[in-house]
Amino acid sequence: MATTPATISSAERDNHLRWDGRQAGFYEVYYLKVNDPVTGVGFWLRYTLTSPHDAQPRADVWGVLFDPQLPHPVGFKTTHPVWHIGFHGERFRFSIADNVLMHDSAVGQADSPAGAMSGSPDRTMRWDLHWQPNVTSVRYYGYDLLYRIGWPKTKVLTPNTSIRMTGTVVVGDRTFTLTDAPAQQGHIWGVQHAERWVWGHCCAFAEDPTAVFEGLTASPSGGRDFSTFFVRLDGRDFHFNKLANLLWTPSQYDVDRWSFELEQDDYRFTGHVSAPIERFIGVTYISCDDSVRICNNTMIADCRIDVARRNDGKTWQPYKTLTSQGTAAMETVARKPHPKVPVQL
């Protein structure tokens, strides 16, 4: 049976490539996070393209292993020329040479760069993963207009915010076999990176495996921070992405910790995300104008969200607590590297 546009979910449409194959001063990123509940390791996978103003476009494939038993995370990255990029038709399919990302699967390989940290398990990381995709996205901006106009200069959404991945990840001589591992797949594009930000995600809470947290606090130009959050609890989706949320959500962070407070209707969410500094990897994000941001990222952070309810319309009462040990993601980004987080990529 022929595929028609009506059979494609809105989440799959949100995954479609925004780059037109020509535009300079543009970048686009697809990323995946997945946590292995058996070994406690986490993986961060990225398919990216960069089309600078004054150079040929290029594509990168990244993979990072976060193993709490190793002294530091281990990063892998391979760069490809622009003619290795492929994007196809109605159904979402983005390829970089033999590395292919679809709405329900990912195949890839990345190699260690020169100067990789000692103790690297090997010089190659490979993955072959598949999942049942989401049909709707988490949109960081509550207004469709913000995805069409020039501001903000980075667009963010999550076509697959809570999925379960099955397949294999091979790092050197270590093979990780995943079965229904909690995971996420996101999509970012734009013309300029924000000046700084903190981001986090978790879909592996011990008390409720269906609960989800996702959030971002960013400063587009180095001035005021803007915040946007999403929480799924008890089968209900809470979107904190309207103007009041963007401007006035309490959110404070440092390189290795983040606290925030969200309120909607008769629910209040008080959240904390943190990880030991040695669980972070430093990587370099290069903007289209060649300016540099240093990202400090971990996929094995802890997350705690205390939920209160106001049953009588006046008094807050504890409702439940969600906890995640080593299965949350967190990254902070700034202009300069952190002295305790080695930059690997």
Whether the upstream peptide bond of residue 250 has omega within 30° of 0, thus cis, is no
Mean pLDDT, to the nearest integer, of 311-326? 91
How many Å apart are CA 259 and CA 53, to the nearest integer? Answer: 37
Amino acid 82: pLDDT: 84
End-to-end CA distance of the chain: 45
Q: Which residues pair with 99 in a beta bridge?
A: 96
Backbone angles phi, psi at 7, to 5 degrees: -85, -5
What is the distance of C-alpha 168 from the center of its chain?
Answer: 20
User: How far is 173 from 139, CA to CA, in rounded Å?
Assistant: 39
115: pLDDT strictly greater than 60: no
- The predicted-structure confidence for 218-242, as pLDDT tens digits, reads as follows 998 878 899 999 999 999 999 999 9
Judged against a pLDDT cut of 90, whether residue 262 lies above it is answered with yes
pLDDT at 116 > cutoff 70: no
- Chain-centroid distance, C-alpha 203: 12
Kindly give the pairing relationship between strand 42-51 and strand 58-66.
antiparallel
Q: Model-level pTM?
A: 0.93
Torsion of CA 249, 253, 258, 263, to 10 degrees: -10
Let me know how many helices (H) and strands (E) the chain has, helices first.
2, 22
Q: pLDDT tens digit string along 85-108?
A: 888 778 999 999 999 999 999 999
- State the chain's mean pLDDT as an integer: 92
Q: Which domains does the chain show, CATH number per domain?
A: 10-334 (2.40.370.10)
Report the pLDDT averaged over residues 201-206.
98
What local confidence, expressed as pLDDT, does residue 112 receive? 74
